[in-house]
Amino acid sequence: MAGRQATNAAVETQLARLSLVEKVAQLFMVDVLERSLTPQDAAWLARARPGGVILLGNNIGTDDEVAAFVAAIHATNPDLPPLVAVDQEGGPVSRLAGDPAPGAVALGQLPDTEVEAFARARAGYVASFGFDINFAPVADVAYRPESIMADRAFGADPAVVAAKVAAVIAGGAGSGVLDTAKHFPGHGRSPLDSHALLPEIDLSPAEWLATDALPFQAAIEAGVPIVMLGHLGYRQWDAAPTSLSPVAVAMLREQLGFDGVIVTDDLAMAAVADLDPYAIVDRAIAAGIDWLMFGSHAAPVSDLIAYLQSQVESGAVAEARINDSVRRLLRLRLDR
């Protein structure tokens, strides 16, 4: 309890030092375009001060180049460096070529102790580049071979997937790299790719709690600090995509008891591409989401940050709402 109180005090101290625009900027995770930090991107990051930066496949060069890139991103804001993330699931989604651990399909066949050992090795490898966050593991259950997640999931049995997810979280603990359970509330029942359109999943909350929720519950119980919302159409829950759904957030917070950081999948993906990016910001904030990922610049992120700042200044969004998310994001840093 004393440790948590000390963390809370440190969070409040940091929060009090931030201006409104600095707090608003913390709620955005962005991408960069090259394999090294250009002067233009460096100047923008130093000026905008977003909370996170994701490196994608097009950003990955040699090992030395990647490590230098991550360090350069951190250096753009020495007081509150952007947290730098990568998608290093292993298997088909591997940004870094030297991963010592196999992908989820292979790990799903191994004892949990071996999965934990491999996860520890992967976390150390990702940490060696300076990354702060790994957007993994996949907590989706791939029920059928035609599932879009069949080659990225630990298996077709929710209980098995839950055990492997928990082992991965345990293996990564203490590495300095923060794991992320994705794609909440579960993408594995659909053959469709949310990069192209919005998959529809016909599953009631009660059915979900007994099945697809289990790996996410296991991740939370294992201490996962971040959960990523997928772009999914759970129409029995809500008309909104789950990535913008207050119902999905409530299921995560209230039903599963998660009090960490909720991040969206890329809000410029085709699944939500028909939505205006400013309306996306409004809906994400209203839903209670902490971190908005704009990895493809549907609108200039500077404009989106300025827009959300104006919403707070006008009273349309309460500053207390922004503070709630900033507190979680600051705690994420302090608890690493």
Q: Give average pLDDT by consecutive 10-residue segment, the chain, 336 residues.
A: 66 96 97 92 94 95 97 96 98 96 98 98 98 98 95 98 98 97 95 80 96 98 98 95 97 97 92 89 98 76 95 98 98 89
Catalytic residue chosen out of the listed positions 212, 265, 266, 290: 265
pTM as predicted: 0.96
Go through 161-179 and write b for each residue having 16 or more CB atoms within 10 A of its CB, e for each that does not. Answer: bbbbbbbbbbbbbebebbb
195 carries an active-site annotation: yes
Q: DSSP E strands: which ranges in the chain?
A: 28-31, 52-55, 83-86, 88-90, 93-94, 133-134, 178-184, 226-229, 261-264, 292-294
Confidence (pLDDT) at 331: 96
Between helix 158-172 and helix 213-221 the angle, nearest 10°, is 30
335 carries an active-site annotation: no
Q: Which residue has the tokens 């300076």?
A: 130
Q: What is the pLDDT of residues 188-230, one digit of tens each?
A: 998 877 777 888 999 999 999 999 999 999 999 999 999 999 9
Cα distances from 275 to residues 32, 67, 123, 286, in angstroms, run 23, 36, 36, 15
Domains with residue ranges and CATH for the chain: 21-334 (3.20.20.300)
Q: Which amino acid is at 201?
A: I
- Dmax (CA) for the chain in angstroms is 55
Catalytic residue chosen out of the listed positions 195, 259, 297, 324: 195
